[in-house]
Copies of this chain bind each other. A is one copy, B any other.
Amino acid sequence: MNATAKSDGTVGKALRMLDLVAEFGRPVRFTDILAMSPHPKATTYRLLQTLTNQHMLEFNEGDGTYALGGRLMRLAHAAWKTASLAPIARPFIEDLAAEVGETVHLAQIDQGQVLFVDKLQATDRFETLAQVGKIAPAYCTGVGKAMLAFLAPKRLQLAMLQQAYFQYTPATITNAAALESELEQIRASGIAYDREEHEEGIISIAAPILSSNGRVIGALSIATATTRHSLEGLDAFRVPLLETAEKIGAEATHWQFPA
């Protein structure tokens, strides 16, 4: 009867099953899901059936596995087009990518995490896997820190509180105090760096995107491998990065960032 134990309804249960399947990262058999499911066998079974009927899952007759379904991709495409910064920001990002010749990421904050909504690679290489929908923690990425730094105090507090720090690399910031002081610097300079904090060998320079009312609505980063550029090298992109973030913010003023 308390707040946390309150039932979240049939829809909530069904969606949690989707998360479960997603977490496996591969097609899964009924038993695999059952082992992770908070529900008894019959319930779990029916939940999967429902989801399959609704095309949120697809059941493979061949090997008896469930996988996430096509309806999700359709809906997400619609989400991307109507509810993300990406379509608005696209032309600006293209210019930036062409100018700097490095990978450009566009991210937003979603449920306290970094949600990548676009990725563009200049140059002739293709290494770009479609990154849309990928998530990462905020505290150890350039875009994440850029957004945290400019979050309204109340929201920041909320985000910090529920943060669990995981040491991805030796450089990862793993406590609130260190993060706070880093954010302070970012606030002063308007620029955030990822110094191989999430992935070894990958660094980035990031800037927040602020709407005209001063709220953070996203962040933009230029990422590269340490083999191609040093952190100081990335700094050369500071001006075009900031300018682009500015332009996107101006363009997106009507778009209000959801909680």
Which A residues have a C-beta under 8 Å from some C-beta of B? 8-12, 14-15, 18-19, 21-22, 24-27, 50-51, 53-56, 58-63, 67-84, 86-87, 90, 94, 97-98, 108, 110-111, 115, 117-118, 120, 124, 126, 129-130, 132-135, 256, 258-259
Chain B residue, CB-CB nearest to A215: B62
> How far apart are A90's CB and chain B's nearest CB, in angstroms?
7
Contacting residues, chain B, for A75 (C-beta < 8 A): 18-19, 22, 68, 72, 76, 133
Inter-chain contact A53/B8, CB cutoff 8 Å: yes
Say which residue of B14, B69, B73, B135 sits within 8 Å of A117 (CB atoms): B73
Complex CA gap A108/B74 in Å reads: 12
> How far apart are A15's CB and chain B's nearest CB, in angstroms?
5
Inter-chain contact B115/A25, CB cutoff 8 Å: no
Complex CA gap A134/B77 in Å reads: 6
15 contacts between A and B (CB under 8 A): A9-B10, A11-B11, A22-B82, A55-B110, A59-B258, A67-B82, A68-B75, A68-B78, A70-B110, A70-B111, A73-B117, A75-B76, A76-B76, A86-B130, A97-B126
> How far apart are A102's CB and chain B's nearest CB, in angstroms?
14
Contacting residues, chain B, for A77 (C-beta < 8 A): 76, 132-135
Complex CA gap A15/B69 in Å reads: 13
Complex CA gap A10/B197 in Å reads: 43
Inter-chain contact A54/B132, CB cutoff 8 Å: no
Contacting residues, chain B, for A9 (C-beta < 8 A): 10, 50
Complex CA gap A22/B79 in Å reads: 7
Say which residue of B56, B73, B258 sits within 8 Å of A115 (CB atoms): B73
Known contacts A82-B68, A83-B68: A50-B11 contact under CB 8 Å: yes
Inter-chain contact B74/A115, CB cutoff 8 Å: yes
Complex CA gap A3/B90 in Å reads: 45
Inter-chain contact B54/A67, CB cutoff 8 Å: no
> How far apart are A184's CB and chain B's nearest CB, in angstroms?
28
Chain B residue, CB-CB nearest to A12: B54
Complex CA gap A83/B90 in Å reads: 27
Contacting residues, chain B, for A115 (C-beta < 8 A): 70, 73-74
> How far apart are A121's CB and chain B's nearest CB, in angstroms?
9
Inter-chain contact A62/B120, CB cutoff 8 Å: no
> How far apart are A117's CB and chain B's nearest CB, in angstroms?
7
Inter-chain contact B256/A126, CB cutoff 8 Å: no
